[in-house]
Amino acid sequence: MDWKNEQVNVREDYRSNKKKVSNWLINFGTLPLKSIGTQIVKYSILIILGSGIIVAGTPLFGALFQRASPWSQQRQEIASKNNIRDAYSAIIGSDVGLVSQNGFIKWFSSKEAKQVDIFIPKLIDYSGLFDDDSRREELKDTFEESINSDLMKESTVYYQIFYDGSTLGNWKNGEKVDSYKDLKNADKNAIMKDLRLKLRTDKEIEFMSWQKKNNLESVNFEFEPNSNTVEIKGVFESEGMLWSSPEYKISAKYQYNTGSWQLENSSLKVDKVK
């Protein structure tokens, strides 16, 4: 019984509201044009004022929201101490770009930015007494290795350093992700193709794969840009009988000459792991 009464009440409310809307439309339609124009202007002003309050108030609310963060004071102190925007400012043409954090995430973080990019222009000495380009790689090493990762990770999650338009390195939470000294995949593939051939023809050993520990390959390609050389040290698995796969320690050195990577004489050393 109560359910039926509730249905009746809903229908009556609907009819009542429908009648009110109809009456308003009828009354609005009978208004003279001047009154209609006045009503339209009045409601337009209210809509514009409301929109303006929302647009103007959003940044203000956002700023107040950020200041209310328990990490806000710490974030300001870290920014003042590390002074990221002044990085390499003594070098004319240097620049620092900051990618801000999402507003919501920033409320829970003491880091002043999500990413920091430091751009250093090429250092030029116009005097003939100095040959800048002969020390170019050493300059890159200096800029890359002088970064204070412990302080930088206080200010940001990701950061990059660029020198003369090229990337020196990428870091995440203070750990280096990659460097300009990392060997390119195309070069690594070319070296591995030749190394497999040398092992097969010179050592009569078939290379299968690098040994893996914790899902990481047990090999290091140490690239030296100054001399265009790569030193390889690692442990690899070879073909064996049944379930056994013999393992070998290997070291080799490659030099880039006349457009290709070439194994240096007597540098290939292979020892079976006992």
pLDDT in tens, 221-266: 999 887 889 999 999 999 876 677 899 999 999 999 989 999 999 9
CA distances from 110 to 13, 66, 69, 121, 147 (A): 54, 11, 9, 30, 20
**pLDDT the model gives residue 10:** 47
Residue 115 inside a domain? The answer is yes
| Final residue in a domain of this structure, among 179, 213, 248 | 179
Instruction: Give the C-alpha separation, 118 to 77, whole Å.
Output: 21
Residue 59 inside a domain? The answer is no
Low-confidence ranges of the chain (pLDDT < 50): 1, 3-4, 7-8, 10, 57-58
Residue 50 inside a domain? The answer is no
**pLDDT the model gives residue 12:** 59
**85 and 175: one domain?**
yes
**220 and 247: one domain?**
yes
**pLDDT the model gives residue 166:** 86
Encoded amino acid at 27, one letter? N
**220 and 250: one domain?**
yes
| Final residue in a domain of this structure, among 147, 179, 211 | 179
Q: What CATH number is given to the structural domain containing 238?
A: 3.10.450
**171 and 253: one domain?**
no
Q: What are phi and psi of 55, to 5 degrees?
A: -65, -45
**189 and 175: one domain?**
no
Mean pLDDT for the chain overall = 79
The answer to whether 156 touches 116, Cβ cutoff 8 Å, is yes
**pLDDT the model gives residue 145:** 86
Nearest by Cα to 210 from 202, 221, 198, 219: 219
DSSP 3-state assignment of 125?
coil
**150 and 198: one domain?**
no
**161 and 209: one domain?**
no
The total domain count for the chain is 2
Residue 12 inside a domain? The answer is no
Which tens digit of pLDDT belongs to each residue from 195-212?
999 999 999 999 999 999
DSSP state for residue 242 in the 8-state scheme? T
Residue 207 inside a domain? The answer is yes
**148 and 205: one domain?**
no
Residue 226 inside a domain? The answer is yes
**pLDDT the model gives residue 189:** 95
Q: How large a percentage of the chain has pLDDT more than 90? A: 29
**268 and 228: one domain?**
yes
**86 and 141: one domain?**
yes
Q: Is the pTM of this model over 0.85?
A: no
Residue 126 inside a domain? The answer is yes
Residue 11 inside a domain? The answer is no
**Angle, alpha carbons 187-261-252 (nearest 5°):** 95
Residue for token digits 């190394």?
195
Helix or strand run (H / E) with residue 54: helix 33-67
**153 and 210: one domain?**
no
For residue 60 the two structure tokens come to 């203000």
**172 and 209: one domain?**
no
State the residue range of the domain holding 116.
Answer: 72-179
| Final residue in a domain of this structure, among 164, 179, 194 | 179
Categorise residue 259: left if φ over 0, alpha if ψ from -120 to 50, beta otherwise. left
For residue 150 the two structure tokens come to 């412990």
Encoded amino acid at 7, one letter? Q
Nearest by Cα to 96 from 79, 111, 115: 115
